[in-house]
Amino acid sequence: MVYFMEHSIKAIREKEEAAAAGGTSPEDKKRIDDIEKDLGELSGAIERGLTK
């Protein structure tokens, strides 16, 4: 249990430091990439719908 708490605290500190430094976490980068991909697909679908 102590190891888990220490690990959790370390993970929280690392995330806080990354946020303070203005860095983007790998998880956020993945989410951004997924959203950009979905947006591109939606834009393409809208354009196809408007040109029919």
Residues 51, 12: Cα–Cα separation, whole Å: 49
CA distances from residue 31 to 4, 9, 13, 39, 51 in whole angstroms, order as listed: 27, 24, 22, 12, 30
Q: Which pLDDT does position 1 carry in this prediction? A: 47
User: What is the CA 24 to chain-centroid distance, rounded?
Assistant: 8
Domain range summary for the chain, segments of one domain joined by + = 25-52
Count of positions (residues) in the chain: 52
pTM of the model: 0.50
Per-residue pLDDT of the chain in tens (52 residues, 90 and over written 9): 455 566 677 888 888 887 777 767 788 889 989 999 999 998 888 888 887 6
